[in-house]
Amino acid sequence: MQPTVVRVARLSDPAGPADGVRVLVERLWPRGTARASVVLDGWYRGLAPSDELRTWYGHDPERFAEFAERYRAELRAPDRVAALERLRALAGDGPVTLLTASGSPAISQAAVLAAVLTGE
């Protein structure tokens, strides 16, 4: 059995052959981004952090650890479990690239989701 491969990238990054399935994990479509200009296989808006959590976090690096903990708790909510399982199944079939509009993908919800999907 091969390991689950989950990458994190910015929505504006060009698609590459190693990307596999490209999935956007933002609640809202990013402003200023034309849908026709993006290579995208799916949009899992239901897996994005709540507006309250996203607003509190504000991509402050000092809050990332607590954000990750709170976001993981949100992902355990019954309404998100099914979407997370669908995404986990996609990742089991081959590489998945989680796309974010964040300027810092390493401290975004996509990074937390990648860790959840790979069992970290």
- Listed in sequence order, the residues at least 6 apart from 111 whose beta carbon sits closer than 8 Å to its beta carbon are 8, 105
Please provide the average confidence, as pLDDT, over all residues in the chain: 90
| Cα distance between residue 114 and residue 98, in whole Å | 7
Residue 1 binned pLDDT confidence (cut-offs 50, 70, 90): very low
Q: Which residue in 11, 110, 114, 118 sits closest to 54, CA to CA?
A: 110
Q: Which residue in 47, 51, 59 sits closest to 108, CA to CA?
A: 59
Whether pTM exceeds 0.85: yes
Predicted local confidence at residue 2, as pLDDT: 56
Tell me the pLDDT tens digit for each residue of 52-109.
999 999 999 999 999 999 999 999 999 899 999 999 888 888 899 999 998 899 999 9
